[in-house]
Amino acid sequence: MSDEPTSSTAPSLSSQEIERYSRHILLPEIGGQGQQALKAARVLVVGAGGLGAPVILYLAAAGVGTLGIVDDDRVSLSNLQRQVIHQTSTVGMSKTDSARDTVARLNPHVTVRPLPFRLTPDTASETLVGYDVVVDGSDNFDTRYLVAEAAETLKVPLVTGAVGRFDGSLTVLMPWTLDATGREAPRYRDLFPEPPPPGTVPSCAEAGIVGALTGVIGTLQAMEVVKLLTGAGDPLVGRLLLYDALAARFDTIRYRRRHADR
């Protein structure tokens, strides 16, 4: 794409940025070097809705240098119960522009690339090129499988999440890497081999969803991105984190590549 992001290595932090990110810099797991890595990073967020909203807000607050935001939708009044990056005054505006304006007010050091279109098999790979991490906050299975396959082909770490009513889940996909036993890390289809038949999984518009749930899962997605970019902790590769909001319970399921030769 003509406006593909350019690479930057270890950019320096201004005195204002050092103050802004001081609580990060105090952490030995992040420090000044990790904060520089965040500033140099380019993250693509697919979807500026319920999951994408907290992802974008927390990554912008964390100082991720460039955020690409893919979404072809416009803000509607029913979005505002959960999509906290948008406001009443932005109803009718494209979600990418609304998100860009919110980020500008939150952190002027972050560059936002609005991408107001829907990913297709023809555009997915070229859209992902140049990014260090992709976050999938989309609300449909076609996009989830498309993004997972493009990220795998390009060897870009993918943080993918999903929500429904009172339940949510997320995982990290890096299928070109090896686990501690030398086995290839799993793919998205190792976790979900095929999408469910059309009409079997109701959308949030049909079944409803509690707004705060998207904040929980989206914030956890942002945390995984920070870990990936700074090298802190252990990303959720080969692990599916499940959240039951009604029971206030987290569970983790380990999963593996189904066929090592695929």
- Structural domain spans, the chain: 21-188+201-254
State pLDDT tens for residues 65-99.
999 999 999 999 999 999 999 999 999 999 999 99
Per CATH, the architecture of 21-188+201-254 is what?
A: 3-Layer(aba) Sandwich (3.40)
- Going by C-beta distance under 8 Å and a sequence separation of 6 or more, which residues neighbour residue 185? 173, 174, 175, 176, 177, 178, 179, 237, 238, 257
Q: Please, what is the average pLDDT of the chain?
A: 93
Tell me what percent of the residues of the chain surpass a pLDDT of 90.
85
Q: With 0.75 as the threshold, say if the pTM is over it.
A: yes
Residue 6, pLDDT above cutoff 70: no
Q: What is the pLDDT of residue 195?
A: 84
Q: What is the pLDDT of residue 182?
A: 87
- Going by C-beta distance under 8 Å and a sequence separation of 6 or more, which residues neighbour residue 239? 171, 252, 253, 254, 255
State pLDDT tens for residues 166-193.
999 999 999 999 988 889 999 999 999 9
Q: What is the DSSP letter of 201?
A: S
Task: For 249, list phi and psi in degrees, rounded to 5.
Answer: -135, 135
Q: Mean pLDDT, to the nearest integer, of 40-67?
A: 98
Q: What is the DSSP letter of 108?
A: T
